[in-house]
A and B are shown apart, each in its own frame.
Chain A
Amino acid sequence: AQSVAQPEDQVNVAEGNPLTVKCTYSVSGNPYLFWYVQYPNRGLQFLLKYITGDNLVKGSYGFEAEFNKSQTSFHLKKPSALVSDSALYFCAVRDPYGNNRLAFGKGNQVVVIP
């Protein structure tokens, strides 16, 4: 069964500094990987995905993520964090031979300090 680990509970970063949110996954075969962001009392917004092709994926709001097959990782990055990036970030994996169900990590709270 597919699973995702997001090892840190909270990520604190100063505004303007690089932001990294870590994610490792476990799935049989080649994974489909996703990042979603959740603002308070809101639903999940899709940020980006890796399906195939280039390991570096660019998404919404200046975010990008790098797929690393050997390390089974898909870390989310942003070169310069904004205060408005403060939110809950979820990594998710889907088994491409499965039925579309997503397995989510527990989420990381990102706090960008002005």
Chain B
Amino acid sequence: NAGVMQNPRHLVRRRGQEARLRCSPMKGHSHVYWYRQLPEEGLKFMVYLQKENIIDESGMPKERFSAEFPKEGPSILRIQQVVRGDSAAYFCASSPGVGVRNTEAFFGQGTRLTVV
């Protein structure tokens, strides 16, 4: 059972370009979470999705950022018109569902976005 797969591992974009980050959850997991880790900081929650639904996007910047988790295929975090402040490591996590038995989230290795 492969773990959470994120690609690309490293992404370089020029200011103003678009960045698309992909996340394939663990097999059998229907819940996906995106977190951002800025240098010297902990992880900050961005968005929580289930298949085809955004459950909680309270951590997403209001502009330029969007996320989706379609019925088929990976979850996508999209950043439009990137700026240098978007440079960070973006981590995806997945879990089987809610409830006491499904409490821990499993993380991917992250995508390190560098905006030049």
Contacts of A45 in B (CB 8 A): 107
Among residues of A, the one whose C-beta sits closest to the C-beta of B40 is: A106
A51 in contact with B103 (CB, 8 Å): yes
- The minimal Cβ–Cβ distance linking B89 to chain A, given in whole angstroms, is 9
Q: Does B28 sit within 8 A of A, measured CB to CB?
A: no
Q: Number of contacting residues on A, CB 8 A? A: 25
A104 in contact with B55 (CB, 8 Å): no
Q: Which of the listed residues A36, A46, A102 has the most CB atoms from chain B within 10 Å of its own CB? A: A102
Instruction: Give how many A-B residue pairs fall within 8 Å (CB-CB).
Output: 63
Interface residues on B, range: 20 to 34
Contacts of A99 in B (CB 8 A): 48, 55-56, 98
| Contact bitstring B82-99, A, C-beta under 8 A = 1, else 0 | 000000000101010010
A42 in contact with B109 (CB, 8 Å): yes
A46 to B33, CA, bound (A): 15
Q: Which of the listed residues A94, A96, A100, A106 has the most CB atoms from chain B within 10 Å of its own CB? A: A100
| Residues of A participating in the B interface, judged by any CB pair closer than 8 Å | 6, 32, 34, 36, 41-46, 49, 51-52, 90, 94, 96, 99-107
Question: Can you list 5 A-B contacts (CB < 8 A)?
Answer: A41-B112, A43-B107, A43-B108, A44-B107, A99-B56
